[in-house]
Structure 1
C-alpha cells in the first residue's frame, strides 16, 4: 500500500494533462468534422454524402495504421509517439485547410485520421500503462471520463468559430492548438515516463503480468479482436443513424429529445464504474458493456414508437458505450499484461475502425431492403454475438485464475 499510493498521487496531473490532449485531439480531428462538413462540401462542389464518404475512407486508413502506431509506442515510448503525432496532426490540419482542390483535400483528411492513430485513446492508454502499470486501469477510467467532454466542448466551439471564420481558418486554429497545447504536454509526459522507468528495478517500470498466456493467449486475443470489432459495428451503425432511425420508428420530434440522454448516460456509467467498480473484473465489465447495447436495441425494437422505451434504449446504449471505451484499454492489460500492450491496443483500434467504416452503409442498406425495426434487430444480433465473445474471455480468465495468473 505504501508503494502504490504515492504513484497514484503523482498520476493525477498526468491523467489530467492527457485528458486535455484527448479533448483537443478528438475535438479537432473528429468531432469538429460534422459541423464543418456542409461548408467543405460547398467548397469543392460535392454533396455532403461524398464528404462523409471521404471521412469513412480516411477512418479506414487510420484503422489500418493503428497497429503500427501501437508497435511504435511499445518500442519508442507512447509519449514520444504522441509528440510526433501532434506534429503530424497539425501539419495534416494545415494541409486540409489549404487544399485547393478535391484530391489534396482527401490527402489532408487522410493525414488527419492517420495522425489520430498516434495521439488518441489507444496511444494515450499505452502511455498511462508505461508511466504507472499497476495503476493504469483506474487512470484509464478517469481519462475516459475527462475526454468524454470533447464533443460537449468542441461542437459549440467549432460552430462559434465557424460563424466568425470559414472552415479553413477553423482548421488553422485547430492546428495551432495541437502544436501549442498537445505537443508540449506530450513532451512533458515523455520526460515523466523516462523518469518512471529509471526509478524502477534495473531501469524498468514494474510490469503487469499476463493473466492468460501460452497457447491460450493467441486464441483469446483473436476472440477479443472479434468481440471489439462486432461492438464497433453496433456502435457505429446506431450512432451515425440514431436520429433518422428513431424518426423512422415513429418517434418523430421526440427522437431528438431522446438522443440527449445518450451523452449523460455515458458519463454516468464511467462515474459509477470509477466509484463502485473496483471489485469488478475487467472481463465481467466487458460483458456488461457489450450486453447493455443489444439489450437497449431489443427494447427499442419491441417498444417503438413508445417514448419511454426509446429513452430507456438511449440510456442503456449510452451506458454500454461509456463502459466500452474503458474496457478497450483495461481488458487487454488485465488479460495479457504490459508486454506488447501498445500493439494490442492498435489491433483493437484497427478492428473497430475497419468495421465501423462500413457499418453505417450496411445499416442503411438493410433498412432500405427490409425495415427500420428489422435493421435494429439485426444490429442487436451482432451485439449479442459480441457479448458472447466477451463471455468466452471471462470464462477463460476465470479458468486460469486458480493457477495464480491473477484476477
Structure 2
C-alpha cells in the first residue's frame, strides 16, 4: 500500500467485512503530516453529506480517507474530477467491502488513476508469524524445496475449520459458529442488498449452504440451478453477488493451449474455509470422521492460502486448476507471465499413493520444460521424492517456506 501511494492518485483497500481494513488504514496513516482527514460512511450523518454534496465532500488538500466507499459510489465521479485537476499521488485512500466494479450504477472505475489492494482474512503465516513465501520459494527452489513438520492431520483440520477472520480465531469452536451465523446474516442484509435487489433473502442462505456442499468442485451453473430450484440466470446472478462481497471465488481452469483435453469449467472455492465448514455443519472433529469433508475443505484451505500469497509474493503468477475430460486433475496450477508452471495437489491423508501422482505427471507431460515442479501437499510430516520434479511436502510448508 505504501508503494502504491508513491505513484498512484487513488488507492483502494478492498476486502471482506471484519478482516481489518479500517484498523489497517488507521495504523498506516497514523502520524502522517499533514494529518489525514478520515470520513466514515457508516455514520448516517457523514453518508448524507456525501450523497447530498459529493463535490464538497471530497475537496481536501492532503490525504482524504473514505471508509466503506461502496455506500456512496457517486463520490467516485467527484474524486475523478479532483485527481484530474491535481494529479499528485497519494490524494485519496478508500476502503470497501465489495468489489466496486460489481456496483451496477458505478459511474467510472477511475481507470489509470486508482490501484486496488485486496485485503483477505488472515493467512496462516500472519496468524503464526511465518514468512508466508511458499510461492516465491517454489519457483526459486523447484523440486529442491524441502520441509519437515510436527503438525498432524487434526492440527490442519483445526486451522481449516477456524478460518482466518480475526474474531473467529479468538473464539472457541462453539462461539465461532455464532460469529459465522451473524456474519453471514449481516453480509446478506447489508452488502448484498447494496449491490442488488433480492426479493427472497432466504434463497441466498440456502444457496450458500448448497455451494458449501460443493466446495472445491466444478462450478456448473445448470447442475446447481437444478439442485437449488433457482432459474439458471438467477443462480448466475446470485453467485456473482456472493463473489462481489468476498464470500466465494471462482478459480479458472488452466489449458495447455490449442490441444485438447483440458476442460474450461471453473472450480468453486470459499474465500474462508471456516465459513464453508460452518455452512456444512462440520467442526474439525466432524471433518476428520469417515464421511467427513476433510478432503474438499483442506483443498479449499490450501487454495485460498495460495491466493492470499499471490497478493504479496514477489513472483507474479496466476492461479488455476487443471482437469481433463478423463477426470485427471491438479488442484492448483500457478503460471507466471513467462509460462513457467507449478502444480499442487492436496491430500488429506498422511500417506501418498501412486494414483495421487497421476494429475501432476499429466501436467508435467503437457507443460514439458515449462514445468518447474509439482508438489503434493499432505498431512504427513516429511518431504518425500516422487521423481525428478515431484515432491510431497507437509501442508505447513505453505506458511513456513521462504526463498
TM range (shorter): under 0.3
Higher share of residues assigned helix: 1
Mark the structure with the bigger radius of gyration: 2
Considering Cα pairs closer than 8 Å and 6+ residues apart, tell me whether 1 or 2 has the greater RCO: 1
Q: TM-score, normalised by structure 1?
A: 0.25
Higher share of residues assigned strand: 2
